[in-house]
Amino acid sequence: MGIMSKIIGGDQTRTAEDYVELDLDDVAADSAGASMQVHIAEVGGQADAIDIKEAVYDGDIVIADVTRLRTKDSTVEHIVDELRQVAQEVDGDIVRKGDDQMIITPTGIRISREKLGQSF
């Protein structure tokens, strides 16, 4: 029996008694002391960018839905430039994922530009 068979169970059959149901309240209580959070944001205008900037300055990661910003106008460019400046100021990182998401990280967190599973 290989190591993966030992980890994922191989040919063994499982019953409901083999699993433990997790209580979401227990998980939430444990994460209350977390030093960092991941926020989800929708960017539709300048006010949304302010909230994102504050979260990144506070040391949190933001995944922003920029679907409503797909048009090419000065507002879009201004918001993206502001978020890029914030990432630079805190020595974080910023990437655009496809046409609909941006990920902005705080100090000390870099975003890999390669998908997992691809050879380096």
Domain ranges of the chain: 3-105
Q: CA 66, CA 80: separation in Å to the nearest integer? A: 10
Helix then strand count (H, E) for the chain reads: 4, 4
pTM, to two decimals: 0.68
What values do phi and psi take at 8, rounded to 5? Answer: -95, 0
11: number of Cβ within 10 Å: 6
Q: Which fold has domain 3-105?
A: Translation Initiation Factor IF3 (3.30.110)
Token pair, residue 117, equals 């599973």
Q: What is the pLDDT along the chain (120 residues), one digit of tens a residue?
A: 555 555 555 556 667 777 777 777 766 655 567 789 999 999 888 888 999 999 999 999 999 998 887 666 677 788 889 999 999 999 999 998 887 899 999 999 999 988 888 655
62: number of Cβ within 10 Å: 25
